[in-house]
Structure 1
Amino acid sequence: MGTPWRAVLGAVLLGGAGQAVAVPPAHEALTRELAAIVADPGKPLSGLSVLAMRGGEVVYEGQSGRARIATNGAGADLPVTPRTMFRIASVSKMMTTLALMQLVERGDVSLDADASRYLGFTLRNPHFPDRVITLRQLLTHTSSLRDDAGYSFGAGTALQDVLVREPKAWAADRAPGSYFTYCNLGWGVIGTVMERVTGERFDRLMQRLLLAPLGLRGGYNPAAFSADELADTATLYRRRTTDTEVWNSAGPWIAQVDDYGVRPPVPPAGIDRYVVGTNATLFSPTGGLRISARDLGTVMRMLVDGGRHGGRQLLLPETLAQMFSAQWTYRDPASGDTLNGLYHSWGLGTQRFTDVAGRGNRLVDGAHFEAVGHLGEAYGLVATFAVDLARGDGMVTLIGGFGSDPERDPGSYSALTRAEERILTTLYRGAIAPAPHDPRL
């Protein structure tokens, strides 16, 4: 797929060998526009890395701002580069799901079996003890689990104790399978299932099933990173205190997580005594993957190519079709919580961007762009992975931090922040939008 020019451009943008070619003027303008959004004096962003795919080929990569910011003489300023890895928050859920679906293909787990079979204890909502809970329900946020009791626990905590003894972990008024509520804890359960059926620690399992086969850098455990990977891991920032959570848009950038320019990562406490299959939240299957926009582009290309990468079939096309098909769709308030219009349709561990206007999940202004993928938001990071699998068009955007409160700058045409809207629409128009007379129109 793609024209010869697009293929050559993709090679250059991805650091391919060969003689350099000029960047098209449109992409020079796109780079300037994105940089201006990052440097907005009233609403700055600490850093940005983006990638655009058109017709199955990467046609643009761009970075702006800083991956690390020197503060009070500590650390050093480092720019965002194509190799910069960010903690991508909930986009990690989709990556975890890609590995889980390999276990489904192999028959190690079944989406519709009682998840208790894999956990080694009975998983039930205490308010609905007769209702079975399945991996499909966990993947579609319909399991009736809630985050009110937390969703990340230390090595000394068995997830079983939380799920069996903590009533706040469960909805009292919604039976399993009956209602959509976005829930991070479900991915702790999923990761623990993956550990139990394979006997492998979650971070290492993800390396074996997903990262290594695709040739990706990073992972779910920064303490195991190489020196080069650590040097390329961005710090996430806000101009907001970490304790009192007070914003000061005129103040300094405050590191929120991954401040490895100042201090190196340490292994999770008690990891040497951790019993595999008891609590995978230690590695955050829900949000802990560090990876670059470039490597997310590799994942996107694999999906567009029907699960193939480097001559290897990582996932079957029919598996991906199931993963991205509608498993839950919003009908009315009795069917689920859209989180102020953000969620309207869900696959297996993936969001479906159905281009709903208003306070909905529309990704770009003035164009129809339906896609599948996932959003992420944590510690200042805001991320988008969205791809139209039929056309091979997609976008990855990773914002490293906000200088002003994004909740005070809501989107104008969606439930996203205004900064996200500006970046996604600018990227789409500058790199993906069909030209006049394009046969795809």
Structure 2
Amino acid sequence: MNKLALLLIIGISFSSCNQSKKHTANSISKNQIILDSLTAELDSIQRNGQINGFAVAMVSQNGVLYEKGFGLANIETKEKYTENTIQHIASVSKTLIGIALMKAKEMGKLNLDDPIQDYLPFKVINPYYPDETITIRQLATHTSSINDTEQYMERAWILTKDQDLTNISTAYPAQRLNSSEFDVPMEKYLNGYLEINGQYYQDNNYIKFKPGERYNYSNIGATLCALVIEKATGQAFDSFTEEHILKPLGMNSSGWSLEDVDIKKHSRLYRNDNTLLPFYTAITYPDGMLISSSNDMAKYLAELVKGYSGEGTLLLKESYKELFTEQLEEHNFESRNAGNPYNGDYSPALFIGHSALGYIGHSGGDAGVATWMYFDKEKKTGRYIVINTDMGNDKRTKELEYYTVWDTMNEYFDKLNL
């Protein structure tokens, strides 16, 4: 090749490289303008609405696209709610039980169709079907026949110690927040709840369907699965998930109790009338008490999208495939809503669900908390939202605001150059 031809090739290569860099720079600049516009819209929604504080995140299979907080984490001190503000995330926490379950399976500690009785030191038997075995898979798909009753709703949540409860509401329409003297170890509570004639046993703690027959969402069943993981691995659930999920993803602001996190970053939680709620935890903490930030949850959601695409880092490709595989059929449900795009109860996988309209994820709600985490399985883009204000008895205004934030993020996916 003569020198002239070589110089021509080199020149073309440099030109192409420069054009590519210029195109990339233009795309980044354009995307930043679009995201600045999104920030302005979400800020306007918060300022004109009734949610005190919230944070959002948007991700793709390539990573985090956007994360931002809005409003106030503390009304009294005027502290802003940011992407680094932490609070517990309610039932979105259950998706970590699914990841932990598959990790324990990879380690050879259990199999999904094992009877749970193989791992438990107390009896868990549906008295209406005493000869039927309950399996780990049934816990993970909410078909175990274990039922949440008023005993659970009035007993599971515990106020943290040494709180000044002056001008703080401990009442909540759906959940009773109990003083710390009612706290008991998770295993003891599950034993008393599930074993016939146990301290917390009621006749309706099990439904009148065979295990595996009917979908019946159960927080108690989810917590029992976390206990099975503990017994199978010989490691406490909080420690196991920290080792195999939180630390590998760099979720350094997250934990299962106030002792595990920086409480100075914790948002206060509010009733819908802005009454301050106390700090609280739950005996059944795996079903909803992960404390995290939008920044950390963006990392987690991006990992789920990657896992669905076969490129995750927490689990093997085959494990992620099983995690996301739809498990149930039409006859397993009393009824289903096919019109809701963000309803993970429509077609459960393992502690995560598929909606009828192409989304995968989970939602959550507790006193002072509402969360959604879903990704589009075709576009491989995901959204997360967490708020520090409960919906209360009159949900209409806040639900509209909540949906508006959610839908606005979705609109901006189409504007971004991904």
Using the size of structure 1 for normalisation, the TM-score is 0.73
Equivalent residue of 2:382, what SS?
strand
Quick check: 2:122–2:195 contact (8 Å CA) kept in 1? no
1:126 correspondence with 2:107: no
Question: How big is each residue's C-alpha offset from its partner over 1:183-217, in whole Å with a ceiling of 9 and x where there is no partner?
Answer: 11112201211222223222222211211121112
Q: Output the amino acid matched with 1:235.
A: R
2: CA distance, partners of 1:398 / 1:53: 15
1: CA distance, partners of 2:360 / 2:120: 30
Quick one: percent identity of the two aligned structures? 26
Aligned to 2:42: 34
Paired positions, count: 360
Aligned to 1:433: 414
Aligned to 2:289: 288
1:185 correspondence with 2:211: no
Bigger shift: 134-143 or 281-290? 281-290
Task: Summarize the Cα distance change of 1:65–1:318 in structure 2 as closer, same or farther, 3 Å threshold.
Answer: same
Aligned to 2:247: 212
Aligned to 2:81: 80
Aligned to 1:96: 97
Aligned to 2:143: 142
Question: How big is each residue's C-alpha offset from its partner over 1:225-249, in whole Å with a ceiling of 9 and x where there is no partner?
Answer: 3xxx211121221234xxxxxxxxx
Alignment of 1:248-397 (within 5 A): 253-258=274-279, 282=283, 284-306=285-307, 313-329=313-329, 331=330, 335-336=333-334, 338=336, 342=343, 343-355=345-357, 370-397=358-385
1: CA distance, partners of 2:210 / 2:278: 36
Task: Summarize the Cα distance change of 1:199–1:231 in structure 2 as closer, same or farther, 3 Å threshold.
Answer: same
1:61 correspondence with 2:67: yes
Quick check: 2:141–2:349 contact (8 Å CA) kept in 1? yes
Per-residue deviation at 1:326? 0.9
Bigger shift: 299-308 or 288-297? 299-308
Task: Summarize the Cα distance change of 1:53–1:401 in structure 2 as closer, same or farther, 3 Å threshold.
Answer: same
Aligned to 1:275: none
Could you say which structure has the larger radius of gyration?
A: 2
Equivalent residue of 2:255, what SS?
coil
Aligned to 2:209: 174
1: CA distance, partners of 2:190 / 2:61: 43
The structure with the greater share of residues assigned to helix is 2
Structure 2 residues without counterparts, runs of 5 or longer: 1-19, 158-182
1:159 correspondence with 2:211: no
1: CA distance, partners of 2:103 / 2:22: 35
Equivalent residue of 1:90, what SS?
helix
Task: Summarize the Cα distance change of 1:57–1:312 in structure 2 as closer, same or farther, 3 Å threshold.
Answer: closer
Equivalent residue of 2:222, what SS?
helix
2: CA distance, partners of 1:307 / 1:288: 25
Equivalent residue of 2:50, what SS?
coil
1: CA distance, partners of 2:32 / 2:143: 46
Task: Summarize the Cα distance change of 1:254–1:190 in structure 2 as closer, same or farther, 3 Å threshold.
Answer: same
Using the size of structure 2 for normalisation, the TM-score is 0.77
1: CA distance, partners of 2:291 / 2:326: 28
1: CA distance, partners of 2:107 / 2:21: 38
Task: Summarize the Cα distance change of 1:5–1:33 in structure 2 as closer, same or farther, 3 Å threshold.
Answer: farther
Quick check: 1:65–1:79 contact (8 Å CA) kept in 2? yes
2: CA distance, partners of 1:99 / 1:434: 36
Quick check: 2:190–2:220 contact (8 Å CA) kept in 1? no
Question: How big is each residue's C-alpha offset from its partner over 1:7-62, in whole Å with a ceiling of 9 and x where there is no partner?
Answer: 9899x9xxxxxxxx79733222211221222223xx41011111112453322222
Question: How big is each residue's C-alpha offset from its partner over 1:383-438, in whole Å with a ceiling of 9 and x where there is no partner?
Answer: 1111134532110111221476453359xxxxxx32332111101112x1267xx8
Bigger shift: 44-53 or 145-154? 145-154
Q: Output the amino acid matched with 2:138.
A: Q
Aligned to 1:366: none
CA RMSD after TM alignment: 3.2
Quick check: 1:181–1:337 contact (8 Å CA) kept in 2? no
Question: How big is each residue's C-alpha offset from its partner over 1:106-142, in whole Å with a ceiling of 9 and x where there is no partner?
Answer: 1211111110101123321111111111111111111
Q: Output the amino acid matched with 1:223.
A: E
Quick check: 2:64–2:299 contact (8 Å CA) kept in 1? no
